[in-house]
Amino acid sequence: MSGSNSTVSLTLQIRGQQAAQEMKRISDQQVQATTKINTQWTQIGSAQAKFVNTARAGTRETLNTARAGDQLLRTNKLL
């Protein structure tokens, strides 16, 4: 009976070690996935900032063009 208990104990020990290794593997994958997601969010934030800056520059240039057009109309009226 003692030998049977030892076998059961050893089997449970091995299964426990295998489960611990599997949990560590899953945990490592989660860390890698989270790191990748964080990197992608950083890249998205950078792209959004560039887009906003480009949109602001476009708005500014549109206003400058409108002002220049308005000035030309005034000049033409004077002529």
- Does 6 or 28 have the greater pLDDT score? 28
- Domain-embedded: residue 61: yes
pLDDT at 8: 87
- Domain-embedded: residue 71: yes
- Domain-embedded: residue 52: yes
Nearest to 41 by CA among 31, 30, 29, 49: 49
Section 14-32 average pLDDT: 97
Q: How many domains does the chain have?
A: 1
- Domain-embedded: residue 50: yes
| Cα(11)–Cα(51) distance, integer angstroms | 59
Question: What DSSP state is assigned to residue 35?
Answer: H
Model confidence, pTM: 0.62
pLDDT at 78: 82
Domain that holds residue 50: 46-78
| Cα(77)–Cα(62) distance, integer angstroms | 23
pLDDT at 70: 94
Q: What is the pLDDT of residues 26-72, one digit of tens each?
A: 999 999 999 999 999 999 999 999 999 999 999 999 999 999 999 99
